[in-house]
Amino acid sequence: MAQNLNGWHLSRNVPVTLIVALVIQAVAIVGTYYRMQYDIVANTAEIIRFVAEDNERHDHLNATIERMRATDTEQAVRLERIDTTVTANQQTLTRIERKLDSSRK
């Protein structure tokens, strides 16, 4: 009873394999911790790289959209000019047809 009051002690009754197993588990826990830390750092770097690439793609896509809008506006102006020319040509043809019809009669 007096020995229990003195605190922890190691006696010969504890098998060496138990101590070795505890040491191996402690080493495994520490190794797992450091591996997790490494993986967290690696994943963080990968996420940062992915976000940067995504931002570059986003910027490129926005630039492409702006170029397409400019082209679209330019094409709309050209189409309006073509439409005006076609309308003017139709009116001219209609006048020519009327003159030809009136000269035949």
**pLDDT (tens digit, 9 = 90+) per residue, 51-105?**
999 999 999 999 999 999 889 989 999 999 999 999 999 999 999 999 888 888 7
Please tell me whether the overall predicted TM-score, pTM, comes out greater than 0.75 for this model. Answer: no
Tokens of 40: 């967290």
DSSP state letters, 3-54 = HHHT-----TTS-HHHHHHHHHHHHHHHHHHHHHHHHHHHHHHHHHHHHHHH
Tokens of 18: 């138990």
DSSP letter (8 states) at residue 12: T
Which residue from 46, 64, 44, 66 is spatially nearest to 56, judged by alpha carbons? 64
Identify the domain containing residue 54 by its residue range. Answer: 2-104
Question: What's the structural domain count of the chain?
Answer: 1
